Amino acid sequence: MKIQGNIVDVFARKIFKGEITIENEKIISIEEKEVNSDLYILPGLIDAHVHIESSMLIPSEFAKLAVSNGTVGVVTDPHEIANVMGIEGVKFMIENSKTTPLKTYYCAPSCVPATTFETSGAILSSSEIETLFKEYSLKVLGEMMNYPGVIFNDPEVHAKLKIAKKYNANIDGHIPGIKGKDLKKYIDAGISTDHECFNIEEAIEKINLGMKVLIREGSAARNFDALHPLISKFNNMVMLCTDDSHPDDLIKYGHINKILKLGIKNKIDIFDLLQATCINPVEHYNLEIGLLRENDFADFIVVDNLSDFNILETYINGAPVYSQGRVIFSTKKINPINNFKASKISTDQIQVEDKNTPIKIIEVIDKELITRSFSTNLKSENGFLKTDIKGDILKIVVYNRYNLNSTPQIGFINGFGLTKGALATSIAHDSHNIIAVGSSDEEICNAINEIVENKGGLTYVHNTDYYTLPLEFAGLMTQSNPHEVADNYNRINDVIKANGCKLTAPFMTLSFMALLVIPELKIGDKGLFDVTKFEFTSLYN
């Protein structure tokens, strides 16, 4: 097979007209010559860090959206499903990915559970991590979120790091906001990347200590605007990733190609962008992905121009997997796996006693995973605190989904703007208990009970109207058609925003309110958590 066009040589940093010859999945020759094509041929795009579960699609369905956006490979940490189903969930993801041409490189999840301060559906021990490295020849230990465990020498944490080194695996990091000697100790433990930088000063400190920085542009966390100067200044130390992207964003805005478009708009050199997008992940993680060179696997994309970056074709191992607006592979329906035991709740279980003292409030920041906090007094009725819809202070509830009869944990949150109804989801990073926020106790309970009824999913409830997207795989994913999932998800989001919600991605933001490793104040199934002190805190000030 031969492909002609403007060939983008990222290594020589030049573009020339020519012809590529492909045999047995590989490029056997690249010839510079005059050809009758104005299209551009580039190396395929790589997402250096993504949680496929956040697309709400099982891997075989996610792959369809990825290749249609020019992605040929992903490095993915399945710690979401691992927190729900342990090693069984990780193996499910790996095996399901094998049914698609997308080159999917799995990490062994390092932090299941993410902390001991919440209830997960499983624990992934160091011995099970070694089993994954042995059985599947994994290349990466997933993001080490337990940075206190690294810094303060937790034996189990360091056992996992030792296993990764034994198998010559890279170790991904997750260390937001930590500086100085603690950061150096974390990096010296062998941890080589971080995707949690919120400002450029933090990123530069990490780069100067030898850590590679992944610039993230997902659905909730978007750091490209703050960090993109790194691409030109520290070109060999930067990679691009989405981390968490919902299906509507993948369809409407794209995948890694959307970050390239942002770079082009910001006048970043196309070769610097492609170095970060293609060369750096392949070289850092030792991926078997071609980079448009002779003897490489024929993994490449065809675009119409280098400004709009419209993906016309995607090739993996020399075969077209996306062309002329359609995906050129099919998937089969499979039986769901799940872990869900929660029972329904009633309004008396989420009442909060008025102790005539200020209440700690979680303050949401749109498009960020971090929160702020403040304290204020709330009005009460019959001895119980009320939500303050005018003041945008709503009740937030986390409910353990792994036990039949658990006690819901209650807090209060500012920044959602919701004036009517309630939303709930079984996607609550990282342990994936049920999390809900709403304007009244009754509607919060109705939303939670809808999730219980479906054994997972996301929903918005107002009076007798229920808008629900079931997620039958572990309460995280579905095998429904990606476009149908995106349409349903958009419909629910539109209703939520029509009822006052101010957030760009309400469900994505809600899901991170239970992530107890991202500052400042969060809530888990065991209570309100002060991340800066890494300890539980009282709701009352």
Q: Residue 253: is its pLDDT beyond 70?
A: yes
At 541 the pLDDT is 87
Tens-place pLDDT, residues 281-301:
999 999 999 999 999 999 999
Q: What is the pLDDT of residues 386-421, one digit of tens each?
A: 999 999 999 999 999 999 889 999 999 999 999 999
Cα dihedral 138, 147, 112, 203, rounded to 10, equals -60
CA-closest candidate to residue 305, choices 28, 13, 42: 42
Residues of the chain with CATH 3.20.20.140: 2-327
The answer to whether 531 and 146 have CB atoms below 8 angstroms apart is no
Is the separation of the CB atoms in 73 and 104 below 8 Å? yes
Task: Answer left, alpha or beta for residue 185, where phi above 0 means left and psi between -120 and 50 means alpha.
Answer: alpha
What order do you get walking across the sheet with 170-173 strand by strand? Answer: 45-50, 71-76, 103-108, 140-144, 170-173, 193-194, 212-216, 238-241
> What contacts 419, CB < 8 A, 6 or more positions away?
389, 439, 499, 500
pLDDT digits (tens, 9 = 90+) for 510-530: 999 999 888 899 999 999 999
3-state helix, strand, coil in the chain (%, to 5): 30, 30, 40
Between CA 521 and CA 528 the distance in angstroms is 7
pLDDT of residue 220: 67
Does the bond joining 43 to the residue before it have cis omega, within 30 degrees of 0?
Answer: no
> What are the residue ranges of helices labelled H in 229-382?
229-233, 247-252, 256-265, 270-274, 280-285
Dihedral (CA of 144, 200, 234, 368) sign = positive
pLDDT band at 446 (very low <50, low <70, confident <90, very high): very high
Q: What number is the average pLDDT over the span 75-97?
A: 97
Q: What is the C-alpha radius of gyration for the chain, rounded to an integer number of angstroms?
A: 23
327-361 per-position pLDDT tens digit: 999 999 999 999 999 999 999 999 999 999 999 99
Q: Using alpha carbons, list the distances in angstroms from residue 171 to 135, 160, 165.
A: 18, 10, 8
Provide the pLDDT for residue 219: 74
The reported pLDDT for the residue numbered 115 is 79
pLDDT at 42 over 90: yes
Q: What number is the average pLDDT over the span 179-204? A: 96
The two tokens of residue 533 are: 């002190």
Is pLDDT at 70 greater than 90 in this prediction? yes
pLDDT score of 116? 84
pLDDT, mean of residues 215-242: 93
How buried is 333 (Cβ within 10 angstroms: 0-12 exposed, 13-18 middle, 19+ buried)?
A: exposed
To the question of pTM greater than 0.85 for the whole model, the response is yes
The mean predicted confidence, pLDDT, of the chain is 96
- The per-residue pLDDT for 222 is 84
Check if the beta carbon of residue 468 is closer than 8 Å to that of residue 450.
Answer: yes
Q: Does 502 score more than 70 pLDDT?
A: yes
Q: Which residue is it, tokens 């995106």?
A: 486
Is 223 a residue whose pLDDT tops 80?
yes
Q: Report how many helices (DSSP H) and strands (DSSP E) the chain contains, helices first.
A: 16, 29
- Report the share of the chain in percent with pLDDT over 90: 92
Kindly report the number of other CB atoms within 10 A of residue 330's CB atom.
Answer: 9
The secondary structure of 446-511 as a DSSP string is HHHHHHHHHTSEEEEEETTEEEEEE-TBTTTBB-S-HHHHHHHHHHHHHHHHHTT---SSHHHHHH
Look at residue 197 and tell me whether its pLDDT is greater than 90.
Answer: yes
H helices present in 106-194, as ranges: 126-136, 147-151, 155-166, 180-188
533 burial via Cβ count (<10 Å: 0-12, 13-18, 19+): exposed
Tokens 């891997």 map to which residue?
59
| Top CATH class, 2-327 | alpha beta
- What's the order of all strands across the beta sheet hosting 319-323? 26-32, 14-23, 2-9, 40-43, 300-303, 311-316, 319-323, 326-327
Question: What pLDDT does 534 receive?
Answer: 87
Binned at pLDDT 50, 70 and 90, residue 325 comes out as very high
Q: Which residue has the tokens 């353990």?
A: 400
Higher pLDDT, 222 or 493: 493
387 vs 441: CA distance, rounded Å = 9
Spatial distance between the Cα atoms of 264 and 276, rounded to a whole number of angstroms: 13
Q: pLDDT grade, residue 246 (50/70/90)?
A: confident
CA distance 182 to 119: 28
